[in-house]
Structure 1
């Protein structure tokens, strides 16, 4: 993506130049800085902002958000295949079951979402992204509502299962960004600023969340986020916390 994002005539992101490499790219920033807007533009989803520039994306894109978007009337197999079926692509039962087995839920395939914990529901959402077999997967804070243990486990599971793909993660958590990202971009003063990354795209395992180098680097990033202050107030149509405005 190359260009600028404006919101009601005001700059949201200036001089955006986001190269995507195989592995994890993490966008880090405070609420309202525009990180979710970037992700939605990459996915071709509606946004309140205006895009001025060029962007290229593959035909098939995987998507995970903080809300798992599971349908309560469908069992897990039905939820995993729903998006593909709506797109006119048929998924074999064995393929759907295999995706659930990859995330450790094969034995629960016939259950409904209301019988699952929050962490299990996000595993189903990950299985849904896996079955799309998309080269680009966009993650909009999918683990932020989980408890610390479940969150760490989901990071490790997603990192393993999405190996070899282009993954873009939006997060407000410096530990998560540094733990996962081979590329880490901080959104500050309406611009993307590259940060030193600890992870490497070829690594098979993530650092432990308590790793001293990780915690030290995350503390420095957190201090920078706090020092930057909150984003400038946006016009009334900009809704704080809205998925579209991000």
Structure 2
């Protein structure tokens, strides 16, 4: 079961919302709805977020992404549709239940940090636990643990105005993590940071995710950030989903002209991976086979080498034609002493940009192995060059006009003005 499921969710601002919903279901565009005097910030959106996934919602200003994330934790009520957290429809919850949801299941990291200026770093990080009446020593100990996770050990007694923007956002992340909710919502969490710090925060998030395995919904207007962080990406325009897929799926098979234009100039070498360009390994011999079998495979595949694998497909090395042929003439029955190392395999998730040097330095195709060392593919130099020829990118960000929709309404549901 998915951790989050949104089904036909719409958020319409204006008096003719019922009529607007009918128009939305009929495929009306933003201009048509605007002429009715309504704004559909989110229009018939459906998606699921799986456990341990980073699900990125990507869109320009006015695309509806901020409205959408506020509906995911009940700060805004949908005009239509349902949102389920762990199978429970939160649109049917009252204020008390929603507050418990935000305390126990769903944490949020905001764009502008939202730290208390009069509280220390440690007190800020412990705040989520304070709202749940966790005893002071316990919550401070937990806050220290997560401050250490985000690299802020030793800064516990400082105040927010003594920290840089990146450090303040680290406090915000520590606060969300210390709540120990399984679901983390991040609304443009890194957009206020300069590019270098932003990259550091992206690295931190990926490291934390590898360690903690949270379910994360990440909102961004930055395409490169979306492609780097997202296990899957949902692209929004005028409140509608244009496409949902992995970065590779969106780059290689855009759903429509808008998506194609958006991703036209993305640096694909930073998004596509070894898995995307590798070939199936064909010249492969069993480590328990003899030189005669190795020579036969190389003859059939018309190569002067073959990769050697163990019975469970783990890469053992490479054997070359000339020494194997000599071993056959000498009557040898094993590959002992013929298997050479130095193959330097790469991980299937290695970005294409990081494959240039290994492919240039190796006279052989670069082997691709999984985390268990099993050979799953090879990358000949010609294959990499052919893939680059199909990419044809400049590495610059695409030029797409921002939507001109009115600003999104963000009045929280179930939260008083002084909350």
TM-score, normalised by the number of residues in structure 2: 0.49
Q: Deviations over 1:109-134 (max 9, x none)?
A: 11111110000000000101111111
Task: Give the CA deviation at 1:165.
Answer: 1.4
Correspondence for 2:233: 184
Correspondence for 1:134: 181
The question of whether the paired residues in 2 share the 8 Å contact of 1:36 and 1:244 is answered with no
The question of whether the paired residues in 1 share the 8 Å contact of 2:129 and 2:139 is answered with no
Please give the alpha-carbon distance, in whole angstroms, between the structure 1 residues aligned to 2:107 and 2:145: 17
Please tell me whether residue 55 in structure 1 is matched to residue 116 in structure 2. Answer: no
Please give the alpha-carbon distance, in whole angstroms, between the structure 1 residues aligned to 2:200 and 2:49: 25
Correspondence for 1:87: 132
Q: Which moved more, 1:122-131 or 1:214-223?
A: 214-223
Unaligned runs of 5+ in 1: 200-208
The question of whether the paired residues in 1 share the 8 Å contact of 2:58 and 2:65 is answered with yes
Please give the alpha-carbon distance, in whole angstroms, between the structure 2 residues aligned to 1:79 and 1:53: 35
Correspondence for 2:118: 73
The question of whether the paired residues in 2 share the 8 Å contact of 1:40 and 1:244 is answered with no
The question of whether the paired residues in 1 share the 8 Å contact of 2:186 and 2:216 is answered with yes
Task: Indicate which of 143, 167, 183 corresponds to 2:216.
Answer: 167
Q: Deviations over 1:171-209 (max 9, x none)?
A: 00000000000110110243112254248xxxxxxxxx9
Over 3 Å counting, the alpha-carbon distance change for 1:12 and 1:114 in structure 2 is: closer
Give the number of aligned pairs: 227
Please tell me whether residue 13 in structure 1 is matched to residue 42 in structure 2. Answer: yes
RCO greater where, 1 or 2, for CA within 8 Å and sep 6 or more? 1
Counterparts in 2 of 1:1-246, with a 5 A limit?
1-3=6-8, 4-8=10-14, 9=17, 10=38, 11-21=40-50, 22-46=52-76, 50-57=78-85, 59=101, 60-90=105-135, 91-163=138-210, 164-198=213-247, 212-214=269-271, 223=398, 226=400, 229-234=401-406, 239=407, 244=411
Please give the alpha-carbon distance, in whole angstroms, between the structure 2 residues aligned to 1:84 and 1:142: 21
Task: Give the CA deviation at 1:30.
Answer: 0.9
Task: Give the CA deviation at 1:222.
Answer: 5.3
Task: Give the CA deviation at 1:219.
Answer: 7.5
Please give the alpha-carbon distance, in whole angstroms, between the structure 2 residues aligned to 1:45 and 1:147: 29
The question of whether the paired residues in 2 share the 8 Å contact of 1:76 and 1:124 is answered with yes
Task: Give the CA deviation at 1:221.
Answer: 10
Correspondence for 2:275: none
Which secondary structure does the structure 2 equivalent of 1:167 belong to? strand
Please give the alpha-carbon distance, in whole angstroms, between the structure 2 residues aligned to 1:128 and 1:217: 43
Which secondary structure does the structure 1 equivalent of 2:66 belong to? helix
Please give the alpha-carbon distance, in whole angstroms, between the structure 2 residues aligned to 1:217 and 1:173: 21
Unaligned runs of 5+ in 2: 1-5, 18-37, 87-100, 249-265, 273-390, 413-419
Correspondence for 1:202: none
Over 3 Å counting, the alpha-carbon distance change for 1:68 and 1:154 in structure 2 is: same
Larger radius of gyration: 2
Please give the alpha-carbon distance, in whole angstroms, between the structure 2 residues aligned to 1:161 and 1:68: 18
